[in-house]
Chains A and B, each alone.
Chain A
């Protein structure tokens, strides 16, 4: 049974019509790794059928260890959204609900290879000197999460020093416990700093700059 309804598939097709360059979805699952692994595979397979610019590769995290290490995958299901290069954008868990919208937006931006951030933000990101690892914890029904996800992913596209993991909080309870996720969106920066809420681009940038300079 398809994951996406006929109506949604049609909308996705329309949305992805504008893709200007190929996007590769690199999907990692494992048979007993997660209850949503199979659904993630099916979703990505269907997504690849909606556009001739979207490609998909599947790997078993326990078998394809070289790929797993190349892409730095430490939990499943995981989906890497890769364009002309790997911008460091990962979805951990099934991107459902609002996160599906975030995934489609990631496809668009990665295909474009343009962050669409303001000039001033782009200029400041050029001054980063240290890696900034963003983990954005989300839940599928949270409408505000998609804003935080999008800004984080835009920053990953803009700067080679920024990487963004989108983590479905309920699918990874051990991480939710570790990072005290009681509210979403919550962004963990380099394992040390954290902030909550969908903040403006300027405020998000301030957090990133504090961690990366």
Chain B
């Protein structure tokens, strides 16, 4: 990577979107730089991917390795292990700064920085992170062997976490405010484990514990009754927030930190593109 060079194209993020963009850029013979903390992004956290056409089942890591192999065939520069902290436009070009103290410039930028886990924002959550509160079932599930754990959330990531945890935990409580929104195939798989208890219609009032998670305080939304569920671990899977803070100076973010674009996905900045769920355009 060259801090002196003004690249044709700078890609922020090396998940599936960023890597794909890099290949397209390289095929156009654009001098391309990819800046990312890792190669693979959130897909690395997927124990198994079952909806990527051409693969009936592939682990997230393996799929990303194949992406990387394809990308590495091109002369694409990578600045890995680094994160973009600021993006600005200056003198008809873009400039980024990174947490590692680097500064790169380019004629165009593709933001493919993806999302990160959203917090529940209930009492106890922040203080018990790393003490039984986790946002990565793939990483931490092996640490909860024979424990009772809960997964908060109703979508595919939540049910995927439920299924991953069921390989280790004694009982997995699936806590859902309304109805389960995950694909039925994931719900069926969870039911077949015989280890999953579905608790629908509950809100989480508190994650309880002093030095470690001891339980959840749940409130039944219809009846108002409050119950205490003793647990060894709580996995929060209630969606994700865009990694867009670095763009705040240049672009308009809405209250969900999504980059505001109009219905044609046009923005009043030349050479600007977006990908991977960062903008306010609903997918």
Q: Which residue of A lies closest to B40 (CB)?
A: A143
B213 contacts which chain A residues (CB < 8 A)?
182
- A145 CA / B139 CA spacing, docked (Å): 8
Are the CB atoms of A182 and B233 closer together than 8 Å?
A: yes
Are the CB atoms of B142 and A139 closer together than 8 Å?
A: yes
Are the CB atoms of B130 and A183 closer together than 8 Å?
A: yes
Q: A180-B211, A182-B212 are in contact. Are A170 and B61 (CB under 8 A)?
A: no
CB distance from A187 to the nearest CB of B (A): 12
A183 contacts which chain B residues (CB < 8 A)?
129-131, 134, 136, 139-140, 143
Are the CB atoms of B129 and A143 closer together than 8 Å?
A: no
Chain A to chain B contacts (Cβ below 8 Å), 9 pairs = A142-B136, A142-B140, A143-B40, A170-B145, A182-B143, A182-B144, A182-B213, A183-B131, A200-B83
Task: Please count how many residues in chain A sit with their CB below 8 Å of the partner chain's CB atoms.
Answer: 23
A140 contacts which chain B residues (CB < 8 A)?
142
Q: A147-B81, A170-B145 are in contact. Are A141 and B138 (CB under 8 A)?
A: yes
Question: Which residue numbers of B lie inside 8 Å of A, CB to CB?
Answer: 38, 40, 44-45, 47, 61, 81-83, 99-100, 129-134, 136, 138-145, 211-213, 233
- A2 CA / B83 CA spacing, docked (Å): 39
Are the CB atoms of A170 and B38 closer together than 8 Å?
A: no
Are the CB atoms of A196 and B100 closer together than 8 Å?
A: no
B131 contacts which chain A residues (CB < 8 A)?
180, 182-183
Are the CB atoms of B139 and A139 closer together than 8 Å?
A: yes
Are the CB atoms of B130 and A186 closer together than 8 Å?
A: yes
CB distance from B225 to the nearest CB of A (A): 29
CB 8 Å contact bits of A141-155 with B (1 = contact, 0 = none): 111110100000000
A184 at the interface (CB under 8 A from B): yes
B129 contacts which chain A residues (CB < 8 A)?
183
CB 8 Å contact bits of A183-213 with B (1 = contact, 0 = none): 1101000000000100011100000000000
Are the CB atoms of B212 and A184 closer together than 8 Å?
A: no
A141 contacts which chain B residues (CB < 8 A)?
47, 138-139, 141-142
Please indicate which of the listed interface residues A139, A173, A196 has the most CB atoms of chain B within 10 Å of its own CB: A139
- A144 CA / B131 CA spacing, docked (Å): 18
CB distance from B212 to the nearest CB of A (A): 7
CB distance from B40 to the nearest CB of A (A): 7
- A11 CA / B139 CA spacing, docked (Å): 24
Q: A147-B38, A196-B130, A200-B99 are in contact. Are A182 and B61 (CB under 8 A)?
A: no
B211 contacts which chain A residues (CB < 8 A)?
180
A59 at the interface (CB under 8 A from B): no
A181 at the interface (CB under 8 A from B): yes
A98 at the interface (CB under 8 A from B): yes
A102 at the interface (CB under 8 A from B): no
CB distance from A53 to the nearest CB of B (A): 23
Q: Which residue of A lies closest to B69 (CB)?
A: A11
B143 contacts which chain A residues (CB < 8 A)?
139, 169-170, 176, 181-184
Are the CB atoms of A143 and B61 closer together than 8 Å?
A: yes
Are the CB atoms of A182 and B134 closer together than 8 Å?
A: yes
